[in-house]
Amino acid sequence: MDRDHEAPYQYDTRLIHGQFRTEKWEYDHHVIPPITASTTFRLDSASRGRTGFVDFADPKHAAQAISPIYIYDRLDEPTVGMLEDMMRDAEGGETACAFACGMSAISAALMVTGRAGSSVVAHRTLYGCTFSLLTNWLPRYGMTTRFVNGGDPEAVVAAVDDTTRAVYLETPANPTLQVLDIAAVRRALEPINARRGAKDQVVLVVDNTFATPWAQRPLALGADIVVESLTKDVGGFGVDMGGMVVAPRRFHKSLKGFRKDFGGVLPPASAWRLMVYGLSTLGLRIERQTETAGRVARYLESHPAVGRVLYPGLESFPQADVARRQLVDPKGRFCPGFMVYFEVAGKDIEESRARCERLVNFIATHSYCITLAVSLGMTKTLIETPGLMTHSSMDSRALSEAGIHPGGVRMAIGLEDADDVIRDLDEAFRSI
C-alpha cells in the first residue's frame, strides 16, 4: 500500500479513516469499511480448527498468517476487530477488546486483574451498576472493594494492601463530575509497585465514558487500563450498546479468553455503526455539545432556584486546575464536556428533593427538547435525577458519601440549539 498510515495525520482525521486493514483483514478498497454477518467461519482442516482454539488470542501467534484464524464470532470477528483497532489507537493503548456493553467491559477488566482473595480500591463516586458489581457480585467470588476518595492519592495508597490488584477510578465521576488526578494516583502507586513482582502489580483502571478518548486519554496520564461504555458519546446516536477495554499487551490473552468463555460479545452490526457513524463524528459532536453545556452551566449558575452547579468548565468547579490539565482534546485545548450536574435549591434537603422531583416531572411532561431518560451522549439532551434513578442501588449513606444530593439533577447535553435547551429549563424552573 502506498498510503502512509504512520504519517502524523490529526486525531480527528484518523477517527474517520482508520487504517484500512487489521492484522487479519484488508479492506483498503472500501470507502466505508465492510460489515460482516457470519457467526462461524469455514476451516481448511480439522487440525487448523484445533490450532485456532488452542492458540486463541496468544500474542505469539497474533501476527502470523496462520493463527489465530477466525473460527466463531465469540472468539474473534473482522468488523469488531476494526473497531478494536480504532479504539486502541484512539486511547493510545496496546490492545483492545470489545464487549456487548460498558458493564461487560468493566466486569471483564476487574475479573482478569483480580482473583478470589484479591481486592479493589475504588473511588466512592461511581456509575450505579459498577457500584453494584463491586458490592453485590464480586464479593460472591471472593473479591472485595474498599471505597475511598480517589481525589486524594494518599487515601488511595493507604487503602491498598497486599491483596489489592486494581485501583478503579471514574473521572469525571458519575454524576457529580468530580475530576480525579490520574497522574497523581499513578505517581502515588509507583513506590508500591516498585516493591512488587510483575504478577502482583496494582493495576490502575479508569472508566473514560464521560470524557471519551476525545477529551481525555487516561493511558497517557499513567492509567494501565481504560474501560468505557461505547453506548454513550462514542456511539453518539443512542442506537447501539457497546463497551471497550484498552489494555497493555500482557492482558490481551486473558481479555479475549474471558470474552470467549463469559460471552458478552459485541454484535458486528453494532461495531460497524459505532465506528462508521460514532467515532468518525465524535469530535464534531462533542465540541458542539461542550459549547452548549458551557452556556447551560452558566445559565444554571445564575439561576436563583439552583443551589450549586458542578461543571468542569466553570471557574467555580472544585477541581478546576486538574480539569484544565486533564480534560483536553487531541490538540490540547480544554474540553470540559457535555455533562452538567446541579442541585435544586431549597430551605432544607427535603424541600430541595421535592422541588427537584417537580422540576424533572415537569420536564418529562412539558419539555420539547429535554427528555427524562437515563443514558447520555446522544443527539438529544437528557435529564435525570441520580438519587432517585441511576444511583438508586446506593443507600442514603453511600449516596451522601459519594456527594450525591437528593435534589441533584444530571444533564447530558445533546446537539440542539443552546437557546432552546435553556428555554425549556427556564419554563420548568418557573413551574416549581
Ligand X SMILES: *Cc1c(COP(=O)(O)O)cnc(C)c1O
Beta bridge partners of 122: 147, 168
Residue matched to cell numbers 480500591: 121
Contact indicator for 12, 330 with CB cutoff of 8 Å: yes
Shortest distance (Å) from residue 130 CB to ligand X: 6
Shortest distance (Å) from residue 208 CB to ligand X: 9
Shortest distance (Å) from residue 216 CB to ligand X: 12
Shortest distance (Å) from residue 376 CB to ligand X: 6
Alpha carbon 70 to chain centroid distance?
28
Q: Which residue is nearest to ligand X (CB)?
A: 102
Helix (H) or strand (E) holding 155: helix 153-159
Q: How far apart are CA 38 and CA 428, in angstroms?
A: 49
Cβ distance to ligand X smaller for residue 106 or 188: 106
Give all strands of the β-sheet with 339-344 in edge-to-edge order.
Answer: 306-310, 339-344, 408-412, 381-384, 370-372
For residue 423, give every residue at least 6 positions away whose Cβ sits within 8 Å of its Cβ, in sequence order, or none. Answer: none
Cβ distance to ligand X smaller for residue 372 or 432: 372
Q: Most distant CA pair in the chain: distance in Å? A: 75
Three-class DSSP category at 184: helix
Shortest distance (Å) from residue 385 CB to ligand X: 15
Q: How far apart are CA 289 and CA 413, in angstroms?
A: 6
Q: By the criterion CB under 6 A, which residues form the site for ligand X? A: 101-103, 127, 129-130, 170, 174, 207, 209-210, 229, 231-232, 241, 243
Cβ distance to ligand X smaller for residue 129 or 282: 129
Q: How far apart are CA 428 and CA 361, in angstroms?
A: 9
Cβ distance to ligand X smaller for residue 148 or 241: 241
**150: nearest Cα among 180, 129, 176, 114:** 180
Cβ distance to ligand X smaller for residue 130 or 149: 130
Three-class DSSP category at 162: coil
C-beta atoms surrounding 133 within 10 Å:
19
Cβ distance to ligand X smaller for residue 164 or 174: 174
Q: How far apart are CA 196 and CA 300, in angstroms?
A: 48
Q: How far apart are CA 239 and CA 346, in angstroms?
A: 37
Cβ distance to ligand X smaller for residue 253 or 285: 285
**Strand 306-310 with 119-123, pairing:** unpaired
Shortest distance (Å) from residue 171 CB to ligand X: 10
Sign of the four-CA dihedral 371, 373, 374, 375: negative
Cβ distance to ligand X smaller for residue 231 or 319: 231
C-beta atoms surrounding 52 within 10 Å:
21
Cβ distance to ligand X smaller for residue 71 or 105: 105
Cβ distance to ligand X smaller for residue 119 or 231: 231
Cβ distance to ligand X smaller for residue 170 or 329: 170
Shortest distance (Å) from residue 62 CB to ligand X: 27
For residue 77, give every residue at least 6 positions away whose Cβ sits within 8 Å of its Cβ, in sequence order, or none. Answer: 36, 38, 70, 265, 268
Count of positions (residues) in the chain: 432
Shortest distance (Å) from residue 174 CB to ligand X: 5
Contact indicator for 246, 103 with CB cutoff of 8 Å: no
Shortest distance (Å) from residue 167 CB to ligand X: 16
Shortest distance (Å) from residue 155 CB to ligand X: 21
Grid coordinates belonging to 19: 487504517
